[in-house]
Structure 1
Amino acid sequence: MNRIFVLDNQKQPLSPCLPARARMLLREGKAAVYRRFPFTIILKNRTGGETQPVELKLDPGSKTTGIALIAEVKTGKVAVFAAELNHRGAAIKKVLLDRRMFRRNRRARKTRYRAPRFDNRTRRNGWLPPSIQSRVDNSLTWAKRLRRLCPITTVAVETARFDMQQMENPDISGVEYQQGTLAGYELREYLLEKWGRRCAYCGAENVPLEIEHVVPRSKGGSNRESNLTLACRDCNEKKGNGPIREFLATKPELLKKILAGLKRPLHDAAVVNAARYALGGALKSLGLPVSFWSGGRTKFNRTGQHYPKAHWIDAACVGETGAAVKLDPKLQPFSVVASGRGSRQMCRMDKYGFPRTGPKGARFVKGFRTGDLVKAVVPAGKKTGTHLGRVAVRSTGSFNVTTAAGTIQGISHKYCRRLHRADGYGYTNKPSA
């Protein structure tokens, strides 16, 4: 399981401790809960102390970014914390498309002329679409947050494609250059992501997959990724060097799907490539040494240690130190879901673009705001009991609390106690202690 973050009485990070140790300190009154997500304690009577250097590792993805903290302990390099950060790029894109539709509808109505303003706007250097910029901002936010809770000394991120072979041997060239230790890893990983890690012909999963030329080399087929797919050994041997239309003559739907897939760009890979330089520059603002590593090296480290595929495991295997890292098979990654910090839209629209609600009210009501994690203890009435969940505030002071069992409406603010402030993220698992 994840270790618990520890702060001294000056709020300076100390080395993470085991959950059992944290429970003992809390039980003896030597520490107090400082933060629920991720769970952090603060010591009452300790200032400073020796700490172990911790390395922050990131495996950026289009939908999910893997995060791992690796510390040097007596048994070697061990993952002391792991998390998976789920982005909201698709939600941001949908909101922007709706806004564009509403604006176009308003301009098309028979109203006074409104001069377009898009010609007056300029984009700064390094501008990224909001759906991609949010991925960079989320990763940077959590890097800063973890740095405040843990003594991080270095950062390793899977971003740029550094040529590890040339770094080891500057004179490498020709076939020798192409057939090094990491030969084929980048292309193979690309195809695995594109075809869902399954055989394109029979759909077999969790079996050895081979790179298959749709148009055989003997018939003039190329080695471009648009001519490559993945197949299990049986399907690869059955197809041989025959044309794919004959091989799938009895499966027209599958043939159509594969031919369309060959032309389909790898959208997720394009998103990651677009943001990789921005993420690298953002992480450098932390003032820590940052190293960049290729996805091929990450996969090489992971498969060499026989670890399963997971975002947080890929993060732990990033870089040179990822070649020998110990991972607890019982460790459950801390799940973080980016939910945003509310909307700037003044009122909600119907499908035609007309306002359907009044202006937004006050953000804070009775000291609470929508999204806070609260514990509501209702002593009497139909809602008697203890309710733990996210709160939706109302100007009347009667709130809605969304729990795992459903939404409880009409709970007075007098019965609510805030456990965790809304910070733009949701957490799907319980704290470790």
Structure 2
Amino acid sequence: MVFVVDQKKHPLMPCTPKRARLLLKRGRAVVHRVQPFVIRLKDRRVEDAALQPLALKVDPGSKTTGITLARVEQTEEGAIHHAVFLCEVSHRGEQVHAHKVTQRNARRRRRCANLRYRAPRFDNRRIPGGWLPPSLLSRVGNAVTWAHRLTRWSPARSIEVERVRFDTQLLQNPEISGTQYQQGARAGWETRAYVLIKYEYRCAYCRKTGCPFELDHILPRSRGGSERIANLALACHGCNAAKGNQTALEFGHPEVEAQAK
């Protein structure tokens, strides 16, 4: 897809590369910009052009953000979106974080080299309102920059951003807010101590007590199991070895399997 502008540099409907080559060959257009490639028509103004509705769609991600320009066609069944332009923006969040770590280490080296006392800096700095970590700010800036670029060279009339529709923690706890999102079910607990108290110092499979216990994954890690507290069970060495790579359901204990869901 090639972006097109009129005589006054107003955006027109994009065209295919083949049509752009023909317009350039016939002398009806000139190259206006190389990156991204934009042509300017010599004999067309935006008032005389038929513009179709375009929508800019953004799907933000932690490492890659997908951006699409879609032509919106209204039908009796509803709006149909035809993709006109597709691209992926690769974020530099990890590189930004690594650069900040390098800066921090270099600063610590400079500070430690001086023997005279300096007041600690981290205790007398306030975080301004709306502050974002540099890695996250880089992601936001990348998406906003490309949105500005595409709306500058195309007649996009709307912007749609895909957001996470479900807050799973809010579904489990309707009163959660603020820093509670950072504190899971194991906040303030040691994992092993939590599981010992949860299963009352008994093996979850044979109900044995008074023996060395091990933490068992109800759904094994080799089969996609996680380290969530709900996926951990207390087991004696014999049951843990006998269970092996099986799930609790396959091992004959559906009541333990139900706790992992």
Query: Aligned equivalents of 1:32 and 1:133: distance in 2?
Result: 37
Against the structure 1 CA distance between its residues 77 and 110, is the aligned structure 2 distance closer, same or farther, given a 3 Å change threshold? closer
Contact 1:54-1:151 within 8 A present in 2 as well: yes
Q: Deviations 1:277-301 (Å, cap 9, x if unpaired)? A: xxxxxxxxxxxxxxxxxxxxxxxxx
Say whether 1:109 aligns with 2:106. no
Against the structure 1 CA distance between its residues 147 and 245, is the aligned structure 2 distance closer, same or farther, given a 3 Å change threshold? farther
Q: Deviations 1:88-122 (Å, cap 9, x if unpaired)? A: 00110011001111111111114443333333432
- What is the Cα deviation at residue 134 of structure 1? 0.5
TM value normalised by structure 1: 0.38
Contact 1:215-1:243 within 8 A present in 2 as well: no
Contact 1:14-1:150 within 8 A present in 2 as well: yes
Query: Aligned equivalents of 2:52 and 2:18: distance in 1?
Result: 19
Hey, what does 1:133 align to over in structure 2?
137
Hey, what does 1:21 align to over in structure 2?
19
Hey, what does 2:209 align to over in structure 1?
none
Q: Secondary structure at the match of 2:95?
A: helix
Hey, what does 1:247 align to over in structure 2?
244
Hey, what does 2:2 align to over in structure 1?
4
- What is the Cα deviation at residue 80 of structure 1? 0.4
- What is the Cα deviation at residue 215 of structure 1? 1.9
Against the structure 1 CA distance between its residues 244 and 83, is the aligned structure 2 distance closer, same or farther, given a 3 Å change threshold? farther
- What is the Cα deviation at residue 84 of structure 1? 0.4
Contact 1:33-1:42 within 8 A present in 2 as well: yes
Q: 2:81 aligns with which of 77, 81, 85?
A: 77
AA in 1 matched with 2:245: L
AA in 1 matched with 2:144: L
Against the structure 1 CA distance between its residues 35 and 74, is the aligned structure 2 distance closer, same or farther, given a 3 Å change threshold? farther
Say whether 1:47 aligns with 2:45. yes
Contact 1:6-1:150 within 8 A present in 2 as well: yes
AA in 2 matched with 1:38: P
Pairwise CA RMSD: 3.0
Query: Aligned equivalents of 1:245 and 1:35: distance in 2?
Result: 68
Q: Which has the larger radius of gyration?
A: 2
Query: Aligned equivalents of 2:131 and 2:241: distance in 1?
Result: 43
Query: Aligned equivalents of 2:230 and 2:164: distance in 1?
Result: 26
AA in 1 matched with 2:101: L
What pairs up with 1:408-427 in 2 under 5 angstroms?
Answer: none
What pairs up with 1:81-92 in 2 under 5 angstroms?
Answer: 81-92=85-96
Give the length in aligned residue pairs: 179
Contact 1:71-1:79 within 8 A present in 2 as well: yes
Hey, what does 1:215 align to over in structure 2?
218
AA in 2 matched with 1:6: V
Contact 1:58-1:68 within 8 A present in 2 as well: yes
What pairs up with 1:305-324 in 2 under 5 angstroms?
Answer: none
What pairs up with 1:166-315 in 2 under 5 angstroms?
Answer: 215=218, 246-248=243-245
TM value normalised by structure 2: 0.61
Say whether 1:93 aligns with 2:89. no
Contact 1:69-1:79 within 8 A present in 2 as well: yes
AA in 2 matched with 1:69: L
AA in 1 matched with 2:55: E
AA in 1 matched with 2:95: A
Hey, what does 2:33 align to over in structure 1?
35
Against the structure 1 CA distance between its residues 224 and 102, is the aligned structure 2 distance closer, same or farther, given a 3 Å change threshold? closer
Contact 1:215-1:244 within 8 A present in 2 as well: no
Query: Aligned equivalents of 2:23 and 2:72: distance in 1?
Result: 23
- What is the Cα deviation at residue 31 of structure 1? 1.2
Hey, what does 1:58 align to over in structure 2?
58
Query: Aligned equivalents of 2:11 and 2:241: distance in 1?
Result: 60
- What is the Cα deviation at residue 61 of structure 1? 0.9
- What is the Cα deviation at residue 158 of structure 1? 1.4
Q: Deviations 1:146-188 (Å, cap 9, x if unpaired)? A: 000111111111124169xxxxxxxxxxxxxxxxxxxxxxxxx
Unaligned runs of 5+ in 2: 168-216, 220-225, 232-238, 247-261
Against the structure 1 CA distance between its residues 99 and 53, is the aligned structure 2 distance closer, same or farther, given a 3 Å change threshold? same
AA in 2 matched with 1:108: C
AA in 2 matched with 1:215: I
Q: Secondary structure at the match of 1:119?
A: coil
Q: Secondary structure at the match of 2:35?
A: coil
Q: Secondary structure at the match of 1:118?
A: coil
Against the structure 1 CA distance between its residues 152 and 226, is the aligned structure 2 distance closer, same or farther, given a 3 Å change threshold? farther
Query: Aligned equivalents of 1:244 and 1:8: distance in 2?
Result: 74
AA in 2 matched with 1:97: V
Q: 1:161 aligns with which of 159, 165, 169?
A: 165
AA in 2 matched with 1:247: G
